[in-house]
Amino acid sequence: MMLAILAAPGPSLAAGAFAMGKCGAYGQAYDYVNEAAARAAALKQCQGNCVAIPMRRSCAAFSIDMSNPCGAHGYAVRPKISTSLNEATRECYKYGGKQCVIRAWACDGRG
């Protein structure tokens, strides 16, 4: 009987969020029970006027222009980290960045 209890699956923790703000501010939360809790946790970490995007079974990346951290930036949420990193960097350059680098990234543990 004890073995059956120990083998039972726990709650599915598959919700995450990534928050981004001005001048490279960010927050991240992953493996939460629901999206609302993940968004709240990510926004709590982000200083300034931040926006949170959901990250469900995926990875998020945030890129900023190192020559002007308060200028151009880009982000992406994709199923794989490599795609997220590449797309976030492309987005930064697309919006005028000159020296775009990844500021932060996170993957939901189930992504």
* 39-86 tens-digit pLDDT: 999 999 999 899 999 988 889 999 999 999 999 999 999 999 999 999
**57, part of any domain:** yes
Q: How many CB atoms sit inside 10 A of residue 103's CB?
A: 21
Number of domains present in the structure of the chain = 1
* 24-42 tens-digit pLDDT: 999 999 888 899 999 999 9
- Sign (positive or negative) of CA dihedral 91, 92, 93, 96: positive
**34, part of any domain:** yes
- Helix then strand count (H, E) for the chain reads 3, 6
- Residue 55 lies in domain: 12-107
**6, part of any domain:** no
Confidence of residue 2 (pLDDT cuts 50, 70, 90): very low
Q: The sheet that has 15-20: what strands, in order across it?
A: 26-32, 15-20, 51-54
- Report whether pLDDT(3) > 80: no
Confidence of residue 5 (pLDDT cuts 50, 70, 90): very low
Q: What is the pLDDT of residue 33?
A: 87
**3, part of any domain:** no
